[in-house]
Structure 1
Amino acid sequence: MIRFDNSYARMPQGFFARVSPSPVRSPDLLAFNDALAERLGLDGQALRQGDGVSILAGNAVPDGADPIAQAYAGHQFGGFVPQLGDGRAVLLGEVVAPDGTRFDLQLKGSGPTPFSRNGDGRAWMGPVLREYLVSEFMAAMNVPTTRALAAVKTGDTVWRQEGGLPGAVLTRVAASHIRVGTFQYFAVRDRPEALASLTDYVIQRHYPDATGPLDLLNKVVERQADTIADWMSLGFIHGVMNTDNMAISGETIDYGPCAFMDVYHPDTVFSSIDQNGRYAWAQQPQVAVWNLAQFATCLIPLMGDQDQAVEDATRVVHSFGPLYQAAWQKRFGAKLGIEGAPNQTLIERLLTMMAEQRADFTRVFDGLNNGTARDEFTQRDVFDAWHREWQALSPDLAAMKLVNPVRIPRNHRVADAIASAVAGDMGPFDRLFDAVTHPYRQRDDWDDLSHAPLQSEVVRATFCGT
């Protein structure tokens, strides 16, 4: 059913703990990603049925799997925690797709592990379905991201602050689950041999043309600059950009209290635990640099002469700024159909105007294609002046339609879909999933999913669900 080749489970002692997922009472398949199963070379039909659902729920360990919980540390909201690790996830193993690409298969919400720190190791249906929707939208937008293969309802009750909630397990697919925090775990323990092994493994798996630790740092910086620019161009706010939530592969990982802006403002925060706005939309590039500096600190002991290593690593980390700025200008220039034109001032003026007039982020950029952007502004004469200047650049409207989504997983629509699923109706979730994974498709019966929320529908906070 699944052909495994588990390279990370062959790493030295201390990289992980061997642990099997904990069985659940009554597994029931909520959602299954047939297209992703085909991409991975998996038998989707078999995984949808009895024995397959048991595997996806954690009730059965398939032949060839070598389930582990990975060890890592991390800075959480700036405070360092020397031991985190997979506290509610089990890496079943790795599969090699028909094109030769290697992927992790992980069960998230599959029960306690040695890294659970007194947690129950479970997830409830809300965060599982949120990650399923948002990660697959990101994939449809060609943003580097982990993917969702399946969501299974467990039949068990998960207890959280708000009371008893229906449990669920997400099958997450990733290029790998190695994080900045994975490197920090061994750096804080002064284990240079483990850091060297991890560095060699990451180079072989993700960056085979890297020539050593410094070049690895350079390539990770380049990928992260691109990924963060993608986030910014969609109005996406990750919400928990801790170092244990930054993947070395460059993928977006750990969709906890993530959200997309409706009304644009650079200081927008949704995460209920981000009380000081550390991970606000506009702060994400700076936080990425901070996280990458922690990664560089881990690699410096592997770089020979330490004074030179510090100088070289600092230079590479500082290269994030111009790399990100170029990627940002490319993304937003494409959104305005003026890629390659001297456009930064024009873009910044539009964003300032949007913030001052509380315009909807997604609807403004989509509306520039279809003539409705003006409706998003309250001071329309100000918009008209900007619009005339933009039109004078002869924007490519056809190209704009290929980068500006008609719809996003709006917070109130995600919340409605989750509420319906908890009540036993997966129809709204299935409809929203179909719509956001075809983000450029115009369909009359999906028009309501493009609307900004009414005042009574606005979601002001999102939650991790742990």
Structure 2
Amino acid sequence: MIEKKAIIEAGWNFDNSYARLPKSFFTRQSPAPVGTPKLVILNHELAISLGLDEQALQSKDAVAIFAGNQIPEGALPIAQAYAGHQFGHFTMLGDGRAILLGEQITPLGERFDIQLKGSGRTPYSRGGDGRAAIGPMLREYIISEAMHAMGIATTRSLAVVTTGESIIREKEQPGAILTRVAKSHVRVGTFQYVSQWGTVEDLRILADYTLQRHFPVVNDVENRYLYLLQEVIKRQAILIAKWQLVGFIHGVMNTDNMAISGETIDYGPCAFMDAYDPATVFSSIDTKGRYSYGNQPQMAAWNLARFAETLVPILHANQDKAVEIAQNAITEFADLYHSNWIAGMRAKLGIFNEEPDDEALIQDLLSIMQEYHADYTNTFRALTVDKLKDSSMFKTAEFEQWYVQWQVRLSRQQETIDAAHELMRSCNPTIIPRNHRVEESLESAENKKDYSLMNRLLDVISKPYAYFPEQNDYYTLPEQSTQPYRTYCGT
């Protein structure tokens, strides 16, 4: 189709470096127009950081861009090709309902992908309609903004528009398009695609591009592709540890959902854990618990091993040596993850220094929490504000014994108890996007076109470490249900 270019003074400043890679990496593809788009929400803070005019982004022409009806000046829309292991099974994938408009260059010289999600069919749609429903798009907006507020690397959401059209999933739902912002959409699955169907030279081009975009300081590195592997491992170790520390469960940790940048990407059947249990699963399709809360570190290591496999042809001229280099790098993930996790858990308990028995103290608390089905977030919140009345667990002999041990541990460091509680406040969110709060917001938006509950929730979760009294209603648990909470991918 002939693209209609939109020229508006919104501050768009596009480059298209990914579209200059080999043509097999993507397909030129315009979004499919929609009928009557309307702006549901705009991320003002993110817009400003991107160098965009937040007022201009609310104009009719700007909404047409968010809907895919117009293409901003300088953009070059493409659908990216990638592959992936989905629940352990390798398959060809690609952007089946997303279009990368291009890369916004900010006033600070940073580069961010601008992608429309739910923008119509592409050559990679695999029989799908290429569209998205309002619920999953708003869920991604809410959860990604919560993650950002908690200091966890994540893609972000610039806007959501409704399309004026209905789509069929489990039922008829209003259609919507999300504008996603990412450091890039290069995934482990991107490397798997090039490794499987490209040449070694293609692989080298992709690796060099990724290094230049995300890890540019490689001049003094002996093996630049080993450096790439090691840096990706480091970023994922940090990321997954942060997920675990706040009780976040991604739900679909397929290799196509692991971003090389180290950002959390693709918020489908994700949620935050209430009662602490490593076996917690929310995804309706994860029937065997492959991506349960407790399995996330191991699944990250598995995904990284698949990434390392793709780099073997360029890690060393000798294949056996290349495999050895890759294996040695992957073995570092467990220690990197553990060091990040235990450092974070120490901070959650107000511990500044290190002692050999700290992990036993941490694991003892987690075991008590699991035994008594204690809420993960609220337990650490209660310890932080020193109000131990909200859970029956606090009245048990096991916890009382643990509490004494914890206080003795805190007394063996130079920092004061007040300093310990300040550290805990900075590491223990008082507010997460509780599943029942997210659901009521989405139901109101979908069925009533009332976005007030969502806007209130977004305001509250934007300050997760504030400990404001007005947040109290948002850490209250829902009524007990006989049915487990389930989330859906929305595809």
Deviation at 1:124, TM superposition (A): 0.3
Amino acid in structure 2 at the alignment position of 1:194: D
Deviation at 1:376, TM superposition (A): 2.2
Q: Which residue of 2 aligns with 1:388?
A: 404
Q: Distance in 2 between matches of 1:59 and 1:30?
A: 16
Q: Distance in 1 between matches of 2:34 and 2:90?
A: 33
Amino acid in structure 2 at the alignment position of 1:99: L
Identity of aligned residues (%): 53
Does residue 135 in structure 1 map to residue 150 in structure 2?
no
Q: Which residue of 2 aligns with 1:173?
A: 181
Q: Distance in 2 between matches of 1:141 and 1:305?
A: 44
Amino acid in structure 1 at the alignment position of 2:391: E
Q: Which residue of 1 aligns with 2:21?
A: 11
Deviation at 1:377, TM superposition (A): 3.6
Amino acid in structure 2 at the alignment position of 1:453: P
Deviation at 1:441, TM superposition (A): 2.2
Q: Distance in 1 between matches of 2:145 and 2:75?
A: 25
Deviations, residues 64-114 of structure 1 (Å, cap 9, x unaligned):
110000000000000000x20000000011011122211000000111111
Q: Distance in 1 between matches of 2:33 and 2:109?
A: 32
Contact residue 235 and residue 260 of structure 1 kept, 8 A: yes
Give the direction of change, closer, same or farther, for the CA distance of 1:390–1:75 in structure 2 (3 Å limit): same
Contact residue 374 and residue 380 of structure 1 kept, 8 A: no
TM-score normalised by structure 2 residue count: 0.93
Deviation at 1:453, TM superposition (A): 1.4
Q: Which residue of 1 aligns with 2:301?
A: 289
Q: Which residue of 2 aligns with 1:415?
A: 439
How many residues are paired up?
464
Q: Which residue of 1 aligns with 2:104?
A: 95
- Secondary structure of the residue aligned to 2:426 is coil
Contact residue 13 and residue 106 of structure 2 kept, 8 A: no
Q: Distance in 2 between matches of 1:65 and 1:93?
A: 5
Q: How does 1:322-361 map to 2 (within 5 A)?
A: 322-342=335-355, 343-361=358-376
Q: Which residue of 2 aligns with 1:397?
A: 421
Does residue 204 in structure 1 map to residue 229 in structure 2?
no
- Counterpart pick for 1:149 among 144, 158, 163: 158
Amino acid in structure 2 at the alignment position of 1:256: G
Amino acid in structure 1 at the alignment position of 2:464: P
Q: Which residue of 1 aligns with 2:473?
A: 448
Deviation at 1:375, TM superposition (A): 2.9
Does residue 462 in structure 1 map to residue 487 in structure 2?
yes
Q: Which residue of 2 aligns with 1:362?
A: 377
Contact residue 268 and residue 280 of structure 1 kept, 8 A: yes
Deviation at 1:382, TM superposition (A): 1.5
Give the direction of change, closer, same or farther, for the CA distance of 1:459–1:58 in structure 2 (3 Å limit): farther
- Secondary structure of the residue aligned to 2:96 is coil
Deviation at 1:424, TM superposition (A): 1.2
Q: Which residue of 2 aligns with 1:241?
A: 253
Farther-moved stretch of structure 1 (338-347 vs 240-249): 338-347
Q: Distance in 2 between matches of 1:340 and 1:143?
A: 23
Amino acid in structure 2 at the alignment position of 1:153: T
Amino acid in structure 1 at the alignment position of 2:458: F
Contact residue 66 and residue 116 of structure 2 kept, 8 A: yes
Contact residue 232 and residue 281 of structure 1 kept, 8 A: yes
Q: Which residue of 2 aligns with 1:375?
A: 390
- Structure 1 stretches of 4+ moved >6 Å: none
TM-score normalised by structure 1 residue count: 0.98
Amino acid in structure 2 at the alignment position of 1:418: L
Give the direction of change, closer, same or farther, for the CA distance of 1:372–1:98 in structure 2 (3 Å limit): same
- Secondary structure of the residue aligned to 2:253 is coil
Give the direction of change, closer, same or farther, for the CA distance of 1:179–1:309 in structure 2 (3 Å limit): same
Deviation at 1:380, TM superposition (A): 2.1
Amino acid in structure 2 at the alignment position of 1:39: S
Superposition RMSD in Å: 1.2
- Secondary structure of the residue aligned to 1:142 is coil
Amino acid in structure 2 at the alignment position of 1:88: R
Q: Which residue of 2 aligns with 1:187?
A: 195
Q: Distance in 2 between matches of 1:436 and 1:115?
A: 35
Deviations, residues 300-340 of structure 1 (Å, cap 9, x unaligned):
10122111111111000010011000000011111111132
Deviation at 1:388, TM superposition (A): 1.2
- Secondary structure of the residue aligned to 1:26 is coil
Deviations, residues 35-89 of structure 1 (Å, cap 9, x unaligned):
00111111111111111111011111111110000000000000000x2000000
Deviation at 1:406, TM superposition (A): 0.9
Q: Which residue of 2 aligns with 1:29?
A: 39
Q: Which residue of 1 aligns with 2:269?
A: 257
Q: Distance in 2 between matches of 1:335 and 1:119?
A: 44
Instruction: Structure 1 unaligned segments of length 5 or more: list them.
Output: none
Q: Distance in 1 between matches of 2:390 and 2:469?
A: 20
Amino acid in structure 2 at the alignment position of 1:362: T
- Secondary structure of the residue aligned to 1:393 is helix
Deviation at 1:452, TM superposition (A): 1.4
- Secondary structure of the residue aligned to 1:98 is coil
Deviation at 1:444, TM superposition (A): 3.3
Q: Distance in 2 between matches of 1:385 and 1:360?
A: 19
- Secondary structure of the residue aligned to 1:375 is coil
Amino acid in structure 1 at the alignment position of 2:454: F
Q: Which residue of 2 aligns with 1:431?
A: 456
- Secondary structure of the residue aligned to 2:14 is coil
Deviation at 1:458, TM superposition (A): 7.2
Q: How does 1:215-234 map to 2 (within 5 A)?
A: 215-234=227-246
Amino acid in structure 1 at the alignment position of 2:114: L
